[in-house]
Amino acid sequence: DADVTQTPRNRITKTGKRIMLECSQTKGHDRMYWYRQDPGLGLRLIYYSFDVKDINKGEISDGYSVSRQAQAKFSLSLESAIPNQTALYFCATSDPSAGSVNEQFFGPGTRLTVL
């Protein structure tokens, strides 16, 4: 079974709709991250959470919000989707007990299309 799962894997929605992307992990990691990937732009950090009570904005948080429901769950919401939020979204986790080694473990991604 995958350690980091994302749902849905694909989603097509319309401008103005509220969308929630979910991420669950069984790795027991405290740290979780949301990224978006656009062709030719690499990955950009949207939000990150170092534990259930700690939520931080990343590089491109405008238009997004997150919720850390439990250590294992981190959701990303688009309150009112717009076409330029069409992208591939990834959730990732890392283990703070690894010290300065910040290897991240990625989910399979959610392909979101906003029409």
Among 7, 58, 63, 67, binds another protein (CB under 8 A): 58
- Scanning the structure block, which residue is given the tokens 């989910």? 107
Between 11 and 111, name the residue whose CB sits nearer to another protein.
111
Smallest distance, Å, CB 109 to another protein? 6
Q: Are 99 and 114 in contact (CB under 8 A)?
A: no
Return the closest-CA partner of residue 64 out of 43, 85, 50, 49. Answer: 85
Binding mask 12-31 for another protein (x = CB under 8 A): -------------------x
Q: What's the CA gap between 32 and 75, in Å, rounded?
A: 10
Task: State yes or no: residue 88 binds another protein (CB under 8 A).
Answer: yes
Q: What's the CA gap between 51 and 11, in Å, rounded?
A: 28
Among 107, 113, 114, 115, binds another protein (CB under 8 A): 107
Q: Which stretch binds another protein (CB under 8 A): 17-25, 39-47, 67-75, 78-86?
A: 39-47
Give bridge partners of residue 54 from the DSSP assignment.
51
User: What six digits make up the tokens of 59?
Assistant: 């590089």
Among 76, 94, 112, 114, binds another protein (CB under 8 A): 94
Q: What's the CA gap between 97 and 114, in Å, rounded?
A: 38
- Contacting positions for another protein (CB under 8 A): 4, 31, 33, 35, 40-43, 45, 48, 50, 58-59, 88, 90, 92, 94, 96, 100-109, 111
